[in-house]
């Protein structure tokens, strides 16, 4: 066996954000995705790098002392819950340690760290699930669930998954059993033949409204009346199904997209409420998946901003305009910029829904849009995607020279990269608070308040 394909047993000595483990083999670092500090694991070597070996986690041989929740999660083989075997308090400590290590590595210090805000709901916190049709083994019965950990083709039943409430489970099982009963086919990703592809369920956790979206190919027909009869006669739901959609997707990729959408029942959106504001959420709208966690996150942002009235505020990477609308009452004018046009359309609809008139939403790439802004903001809020701020855009953004920046990040790795640029341009980090939006996963969000070093404003 070559060194490249060698399989070894090693102990995980450390974990780094996001969900990467480090072990030692013959005085050489081995880095791979997954795992928990203290585990004894089998790892297959993939590539030999200059300073380390890149590996693939194959199997956990011995659990970590940190894993104190094995009774419930010991056999849990789903990708979404890599931290399921940890007690929640230990999970939060691990995330805090990993993120602060990123800051330490880049010599970013001297700020007030306000800890990690826990998710209001440790369980059943997700407001959206995207299930896939398939089989657990070749020739087996049709299954509606999630991809098996590390596998592209194998789907496992998610019965017992506690990331969602019982309404998700009831609808998923009803739909799965219905299509089993009529012997319908699932879309085979190898030969691109078959009918059933995905089931997307969205639930407004504050209002209980539920939107069900069945995604299929065009290779068969749906008995709409019979399908609706199954869904609308569910008795045990805590919420209410307010809309049912049938989406046709003949794309070859394994992503949910629409060639055609047919509204089968009700309306094609649900209404969610956050901090007293209403938000219209359609099938393909981006919205934070943890509703009550989002309330906490946006409350942190509002706290960092303060109650003093602002003249002009920029909300960059504004998405569907949630932050812009939340800060609208304390600003004379808010300008939101977002590249996804559908998100901007939804932001404008939500602005009208909430009777707000002091926000302007611009559908354009931030990198280009800032060139056309001739107003000087006293506050800029940045909430970029996982890749962070584009290296060319960040200089343009800083050139506006506001007294304050509030940076909301879903990826601390790119956050610290960007903060180095702000630091070089004369900004200091005043405080940081982390927000755990995704219990049982390695992900965590962070909110940062920065001020210009020359500012005499009291913090």
Q: Give the 3-state secondary structure of residue 188.
A: strand
Pair (228, 334) in one structural domain: no
459 among annotated binding-site residues: no
| Mean pLDDT (whole number) for 289-297 | 97
pLDDT at 78 over 50: no
Question: Strands, DSSP E only, in 322-425?
Answer: 331-338, 359-363, 379-382, 404-409
- Percentage of residues in the chain with pLDDT exceeding 90? 81
Instruction: For residue 179, tell me if it sits in a domain.
Output: yes
Instruction: For residue 80, tell me if it sits in a domain.
Output: no
Residue holding tokens 């927000």? 435
The rounded distance, in Å, linking the Cα atoms of 201 and 130 is: 7
Q: Which two tokens stand for residue 56?
A: 């693939």
> What DSSP designation does 106 have?
T
Burial of residue 170, with CB atoms counted within 10 A of its CB: 0-12 exposed, 13-18 middle, 19 or more buried = middle
pLDDT of 311: 96
Pair (297, 246) in one structural domain: no
Instruction: For residue 236, tell me if it sits in a domain.
Output: yes
| Mean pLDDT (whole number) for 357-383 | 95
| Mean pLDDT (whole number) for 96-107 | 95
Instruction: For residue 178, tell me if it sits in a domain.
Output: yes
Among residues 239, 274, 309, the one where a domain terminates is 274
pLDDT of 3: 52
338 among annotated binding-site residues: yes
219 among annotated binding-site residues: no
Pair (202, 324) in one structural domain: no
Instruction: For residue 76, tell me if it sits in a domain.
Output: no
pLDDT of 189: 85
| Mean pLDDT (whole number) for 175-186 | 96
pLDDT band with cut points at 50, 70 and 90 for residue 71:
low
CA atoms within 13 A on the CB side of 66: 22
Instruction: For residue 85, tell me if it sits in a domain.
Output: no
Is 81 among the residues known to form the active site?
no
383 among annotated binding-site residues: yes
pLDDT band with cut points at 50, 70 and 90 for residue 455:
very low
What CATH number corresponds to the domain at position 42? 2.40.50.140
What CATH number corresponds to the domain at position 172? 2.40.50.1070
Pair (180, 200) in one structural domain: yes
pLDDT at 274 over 90: yes
What CATH number corresponds to the domain at position 294? 3.40.50.150
pLDDT of 405: 98
The residue annotated as part of the active site, out of 81, 161, 410, 453, is 410
pLDDT band with cut points at 50, 70 and 90 for residue 79:
low
The rounded distance, in Å, linking the Cα atoms of 377 and 287 is: 26
Q: Which two tokens stand for residue 188?
A: 């085979």
pLDDT of 1: 41
Domain count, the chain: 3
pLDDT band with cut points at 50, 70 and 90 for residue 153:
low
pLDDT at 190 over 90: no
Pair (393, 317) in one structural domain: yes
- Give the structural domain span for 21: 3-65
Least confident residue range of 45-49, 227-231, 265-269: 45-49
| Mean pLDDT over the full length of the chain | 92
- Percentage of residues in the chain with pLDDT exceeding 70? 95
């Amino acid at each position: 066996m070559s060194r490249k394909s060698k399989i070894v047993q090693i102990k995980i000595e450390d974990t780094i954000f996001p969900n990467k483990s480090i072990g030692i083999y013959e005085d050489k670092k081995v880095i791979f995705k997954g795992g928990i500090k203290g585990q004894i694991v089998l790892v297959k070597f993939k590539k030999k790098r200059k300073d380390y070996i890149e590996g693939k986690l194959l199997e956990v041989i011995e659990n970590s002392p940190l894993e104190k929740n094995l009774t419930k999660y010991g056999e849990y083989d789903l990708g979404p819950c890599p931290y399921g075997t940890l007690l929640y308090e230990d999970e939060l400590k691990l995330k805090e340690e990993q993120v602060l290590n990123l800051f330490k590595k880049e010599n970013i210090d001297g700020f007030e760290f306000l800890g990690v805000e826990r998710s209001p709901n440790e369980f059943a916190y997700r407001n959206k699930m995207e299930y896939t049709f398939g089989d657990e083994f070749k020739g087996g019965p049709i299954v509606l669930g999630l991809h098996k950990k590390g596998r592209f083709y194998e789907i496992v039943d998610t019965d017992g998954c506690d990331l969602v409430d019982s309404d998700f489970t009831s609808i998923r099982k009803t739909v799965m059993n219905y299509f089993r009963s009529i012997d319908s086919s699932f879309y085979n990703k190898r030969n691109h033949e078959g009918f059933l592809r995905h089931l997307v369920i969205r639930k407004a956790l504050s209002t209980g409204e539920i939107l069900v979206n069945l995604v299929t190919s065009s290779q068969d027909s749906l008995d709409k009346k019979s399908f609706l009869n199954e869904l609308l006669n569910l008795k045990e739901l805590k919420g209410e199904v307010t809309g049912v959609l049938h989406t046709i997707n003949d794309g070859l990729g394994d992503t949910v997209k629409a060639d055609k959408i047919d509204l089968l029942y009700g309306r094609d959106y649900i209404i969610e409420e956050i901090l007293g504001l209403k938000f219209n959420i359609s099938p393909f709208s981006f919205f934070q998946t943890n509703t009550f966690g989002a309330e906490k996150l946006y409350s942190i942002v509002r706290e960092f901003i303060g109650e003093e009235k602002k003249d002009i505020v920029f909300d960059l990477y504004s998405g569907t305009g949630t932050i812009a609308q939340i800060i609208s009452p304390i600003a004379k004018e808010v300008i939101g910029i977002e590249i996804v046009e559908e998100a901007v359309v939804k932001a404008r609809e939500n602005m009208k829904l909430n009777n707000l008139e002091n926000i302007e939403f611009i559908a354009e790439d931030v990198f280009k849009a800032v060139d056309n802004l001739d107003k000087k903001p006293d506050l800029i809020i940045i909430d970029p995607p996982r890749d962070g701020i584009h290296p060319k855009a960040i200089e343009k953004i800083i050139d506006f020279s506001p007294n304050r920046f509030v940076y909301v990040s879903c990826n601390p790795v790119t956050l610290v990269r960007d903060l180095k640029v702000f630091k070089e341009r004369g900004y200091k980090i005043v405080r940081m608070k982390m927000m755990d939006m995704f219990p049982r996963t390695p992900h965590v969000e962070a909110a940062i308040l920065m001020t210009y070093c020359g500012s005499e404003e009291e913090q």
